[in-house]
Chains A and B, each alone.
Chain A
Amino acid sequence: MSDYNFKEFMSRPDRLTPGHRMCAGCGGTIALRNVLKAVKPEDNAVICNATCCMEVSTFTYPYSAWTDSYIHNAFENAAATAGGVEAAYNSLKKQGKLDDNYKFIAVGGDGGTYDIGFQSLSGAMERNHDMVYVCYDNEAYMNTGIQRSSATPMFADTTTTPAGKCSAGKPQNRKDITEVIAAHRVPYVAQTTFLNNFSDLHKKAEKAIYTKGACFLTVLAPCPRGWRYETEDIMEVTKAAVETCFWPMYEVENGEKWTLTYEPKQKLPVEEFLAMQGRFKHLFKKGNEDKIAALQAEVDRRWESLLRKAEMSAKL
């Protein structure tokens, strides 16, 4: 958005306020706090939260850390619930029973988004409710204790894909949820993470919230407990994810206009990202060189595919 101003953005009051019970340095909290900065101070919002760390730690009865109206329903239905809230808004507006303006923001972790909530999400996107679904993606079911999800990268050590004598961690590649939702041809889909001064995240959040129709935002949100890095290193971890092209920063408009919003000057090898995290420690043992090569090949394949889409879009 052309009128994005970092200072003004950061001076807006927090909508996810301190005092909640999320872990220190939790990526999810950083993601949501910053996404919600994009709601203009004069607008109201309803947050619809899937069951996850975010929900159990920010709305522990009788306390809420949210300044906006907030509803938690269940694990797999944040999108459907948000759709219902939006339908109520449309009905009451149409009947002249409501004056205020609202934005609808559904929030889920990768479990509630990629996996158990996928049907509800796909349905809500297809119906094109005027809402934003924000996935804070920490690449495993962290709330129940670091079990693999379809967002977990190949070879990650999780509690249901433990690395061991006969296992090198998760055997499968991760699902690309951003591309899957882009294929719904909704108005706006983007993926981002914490980089530099967060302007990429802020701009995408603002665009998602103020674009009419169903929009989707995936924010890579590291979990120090699950990824096993030192809490204070979070910005180095997300930077490595981006600079290795493990986590490309891009957006897709109407399912067809693919734009890279950040391109590393020099694409770093994926080891740079892996070596920072305990969940990939076993890959650096002798004899696992082929695993790192396989991961590198997958990162390259996906990056090349994305570049092709962006190039094609540039010709549109």
Chain B
Amino acid sequence: MAAKVIRERLSGNEAIATAIRQINPDVMPAFPITPSTEIPQFVSSYVANGLVDTEFVPVESEHSAMSATIGASAAGARAMTATSSAGLAFMWEELHIASSDRLPIVLALVNRALSGPININADHSDGMGAKDCGWIQLYAESNQEAYDNMCMAFRISEKVMLPVMVCQDGFITSHAVQNINLLEDAAVKEFVGTYKPDQYLLNAKAPMAAGPYAVTQYYMEARRGVAQAMYDSKDTILAVSKEFGELSGREYGLFEEYCMDDAEYAIVIMGSAAGAAKDACDMLRAEGKKVGVIKIRVYRPFPAKELAEALKGVKVIAAMDRAESFSGNSGPMACELKAALYTAKMTPDVLSMIYGLGGRDITVEDMVKIYEDLMAGNLCCDEIPYRYVNVRE
């Protein structure tokens, strides 16, 4: 039974903050960094006005933000934080500890370029830098998707006992105001439910020790456990998304397929730029061209098998990364997509493209040009085996 809809106009940060207010987490340590600063600001104002029970901890750094979040989560609280860019990089060590300790932490990530040079605008280099830390990563195209992912995050996290990053693009999504359909507070509270940890520090009946020194005989099993949980989390993500779909009327899978049924030329992309790709796709479809878009929502776990299945019948793919990983091979997502296709014994042409770093605009016209290159077989790269969009060489 679909819940009542509240029509609003909110920025991505406001949407995330609204979801946080509705979830009412027990603890939120955070440190301000553009463009995610508004999120802890909003939460602080909720605290100041008695709208939440949250203990907001205004820590002195992002490293301490994640450290305190880990402490709070291990203690038995529903705990979360928010950050961007350098803030996430500063947390890097702690990201591994959060997943290894199997703590159900949620992090609202507002994607921003990493230094240097210092830049405050959108790209995915922060999230991509944290892709191998044992965190589930959900990416959003719009403020609606960011809100919806946040509503689902604790449900997923507390079921699989892995931390979850809810990602949206800095400024493009975080600051741009869009129409949004919110759920009522009570509906979100009921959907998220009460957190009842099995083991936690503040359990006087059964004291717990967390974060051991594990020698060679044990370390590998701990990592193997995280890997299994990550692999298994796909089913939980899909189940929670299905339940959320029944509540909200908005369906989510591991990725979105747009005009993919008979597509021969596809763009695979994540985040806000998917909108430009879909517009370009619409224009070319109107001309009868067999083009499509896949927008990845769940980057971790990487939906390798499912993507390969969805790309069957596609002749040429543009794998578009909003991050440079300096591998000398491809963009980070393109590398994984190519590996997924290889495993599925598929050999379509894949053009790895890097776009939009540090907030550089990518337009519908750019996307049309990319489709035209795919259709014309213009896939050659010059100096390096992948291509940059809109860069001065």
Contact = CB atoms under 8 A, between A and B. Distances in A.
B326 interface: no
Contact of B61 (A73, A88, A123): A123
Nearest to B94: A74
B53 A84 contact: no
A84 B67 contact: yes
Interface string B32-63: 00000000000000000000011101111101
Given A69-B207, A70-B209, A88-B55, A62 B64 contact: no
A80 B67 contact: yes
Interface string A167-186: 00000000000000000000
Tell me which of A67, A70, A82, A84 has the highest count of chain B C-beta atoms within 10 A of its own C-beta.
Answer: A84
Interface in B55-108: 55, 57-61, 63-64, 67-77, 79, 93-94, 97
Given A44-B204, A84-B67, A126-B60, A61 B214 contact: yes
Contacts of A83: 29, 57, 59, 64, 68, 71
Interface stretch (A32-40, A90-98, A249-257, A303-311): A90-98
B377 interface: no
Nearest to B196: A97
Interface in B186-216: 201-204, 207-215
A124 B71 CA distance: 13
Contact of B77 (A80, A87, A124, A126): A87
B27 A91 contact: yes
A84 B68 contact: yes
B204 A100 contact: yes
B210 A72 contact: yes
Nearest to B65: A80
B349 interface: no
Interface residues of B, number: 42
A59 interface: yes
Interface residues of A, number: 45
B93 A81 contact: no
B204 A88 contact: no
B29 A91 contact: no
Contacts of B201: 46, 69-71, 85, 88
Given A46-B201, A62-B218, A68-B207, A81 B213 contact: no
Contacts of A71: 71, 74, 201, 209-211
Interface string B128-156: 00000000000000000000000000000
A48 interface: yes
A89 B29 contact: no
Contact of A84 (B29, B61, B211, B215): B29
A64 interface: yes
Nearest to B63: A77
A108 B204 CA distance: 24
A119 interface: yes
A186 to B, nearest CB: 15
Interface in A271-286: none
Contacts of B372: none
A147 interface: no
B26 interface: yes
A81 B215 contact: no
Contacts of A74: 67, 93-94, 97
Contacts of B203: 69
A56 interface: yes
Contact of B57 (A64, A87, A119): A87
A76 interface: yes
Contacts of B79: 84, 88
A84 B75 contact: yes
Contacts of B214: 60-61
A66 B210 CA distance: 11
A131 to B, nearest CB: 11
Contacts of A76: 63
A231 B237 CA distance: 57
Contact of B212 (A62, A80, A102, A126): A62
Contacts of B94: 73-74, 77
A84 B80 CA distance: 11
Given A94-B53, A95-B53, A70 B210 contact: yes
A221 to B, nearest CB: 20
A91 B67 contact: no
For the complex of A and B, the 9 pairs showing the least CB-CB separation, nearest first, are: A84-B71, A84-B68, A123-B60, A88-B77, A88-B75, A80-B64, A77-B67, A80-B67, A61-B212
12 contacts: A64-B212, A69-B201, A73-B71, A74-B67, A76-B63, A83-B57, A83-B64, A83-B71, A94-B53, A95-B53, A120-B61, A124-B64
Interface of A: 44, 46, 48, 55-56, 59-62, 64, 66-74, 76-77, 80-85, 87-92, 94-95, 98, 100, 102, 119-120, 122-124, 126-127
